[in-house]
Structure 1
Amino acid sequence: MKILVTGSSGLIGSEVVNYFAQRNHDVIGIDNNMRADFFGPDGDTRWNQKRLESSYINFTHFEIDIRNRNQVLQFIENQKPDVIVHTAAQPSHDLAAKRPFDDFDVNALGTFNLLESCRQFCLESPFIHLSTNKVYGDAPNTIQLKELETRWDFNDDNFINGISENFTIDQSKHSVFGASKLSADIMVQEYGRYFGMYTACLRGGCLTGPNHSGVELHGFLSYLIKTNLNGKLYKVFGYQGKQVRDNIHSYDVATFIDYFIQNPRKGEVYNIGGGKENSISILEAFKLVSSISGKEMKYEYLNQNREGDHICYYSDLTKIKEHFPMWKITKDIPTVFKEIIENWDKRK
């Protein structure tokens, strides 16, 4: 197969390149290193691009800007990929509010450019879109919660397994980022339902892994671990540091994408994360990273939470496991931490 990966130098994109290139597929990646523009030198992903180019002769990088409609149309017409895995995005809440045009142009219009190009030139090719749990806005914060010693948790039996795909996406504060990603999410669903394309929206929890260029504005675990290793100060934004996220290793996302390609469906939505078992709060993450690195976590607490931020969120994996029973989470939280620590040490 010829597999196109957008955002191929990023966390999920590079993992998808690794996964399919190692299985002898032809992989073409498009990435113009917008993360360096968004986040400065710490967000630069050229190191990852070079790593992929030197590792796989069946991987080809293209410097394409998904906001450029004519460029995308021409590229898809020429390449006619068998699969499109769309991971490119502007990923930060805070940055979206400061640069709303760039955020919407990348997240919403860029996705639309790819979708329409796929419809015109490779209609039968599965289109897998990396969406986000932020499409639910801050509505998860309306669920009754209980405060435990180190975390918040749901105090409602309807959410004992977490947030499902049927949870409301309406009448809530999404952040500008969440709204642009929701725009893309709805369009990907519509191209599946209206045009009969094989599409999937993967509403990720905390996507993580060793190849993440984590920065304060994006990349929870990667940035937290880097801060600990470098002895820097980490800022906790509200909720007593007990806010909870479910974390999924980028490899486990790639394996699910493979299962979907083998048995594609039309206009589907899946919450993909670590689930309740792979959930962790900031305070718990501090304790775990210190136990592995041997370094004390330095942090300061700011009483103001981020706009639209979730207090507690973990994915209900019931639907995704029903549709794809062979797929499973293979990397637990301690394994994820150890891999990220090892990779940051290498990159120093």
Structure 2
Amino acid sequence: MLVAFMLAVMACLPFACGCSGPAALVVNGRPIPSGEFNREVQRRLAVIKKKSPEELEGESGRRLEAETARQVATEMVKAEIMAQQASKLGVEVEPREVAAKLEQQQTKTGADQFAQDLESQGLTLEKYTDTLEQQVLVDDLGEKVTEEVTVTGDETESYFLTHKEQFSKPAAAHVAHILLESEVQAGIVADEIRRGVEFSTMAKNLSKDDATRANGGDMGWIEQGSMEPAFEQVAFTLQPGQSSAVVKTSDGYQVIKVLERREAYSPTFNEVKGEVIKAVESGKKEEKFADWLRTAYANAKVEVVAPGVGKWDPRMGMVVGP
């Protein structure tokens, strides 16, 4: 799928290459400075040394150092090729897109953990922001290159017939829950519900789950295989309208109520037509972007100036050993 493919490409683009100082690499006439190249190699080796210093010892350590240098060279070359192609196609990164990605990542991991992650990788906030900018560039460039991709009715129907299992729907349950810290309190709540107290009222008043408390504990539909076993065993055993005794999970102690159940089934084409179109479109875009990248890598004029690093292989799209 295109999104997964983009992520793979993004992993190779953590650089915003400058152009001052002696060159380590030259891409279509544009130099990438030795200082920038060497700093990135040393940063990665420092991370390895901190985590597993023994990996850098002896002959295997020397091979790892050489491989790290080739990897950095490959990624810098690819980043520069992408930047040049984006410029040709008029693709520009909006600062607000980068800021939004940064805020999203900080919110996801938490400010303290985010700072620790950067430190463990030897990254500054500025360098990490450059990485995000490259990710946005890849997203935008991919959309530009594949914007004319279309999907026909025959393609979608054919894809559905050969990938029916991809669109099968597992058993699912519409559930509500009450999350509590104490097993004793959870037991009291379960007893009260059995005596007729409204489940949603108890959830609103007592549940520790901020995400569902206001909705009476309603978690929506969960598919079989998406929750931990202790929770699922109850959720897919109870009948609609029934509530459970105390269930111990990794989150705490829970009381669960099943609102609706749906058995596993294989939908018709019309039921999942939108999903099929997206799958076919994503596959075609991924293929087109991959072909476009191969052409860009093959046509690039790359000189690896840094001694002992290797040479650019246009067919493989990477720096290989000397």
- Fold in common (TM above 0.5): no
Q: Which has the higher strand share?
A: 1
> For the pair shown, which has the larger CA radius of gyration, 1 or 2?
2
TM-score under structure 1 length normalisation: 0.19
Q: Which has the higher helix share?
A: 2
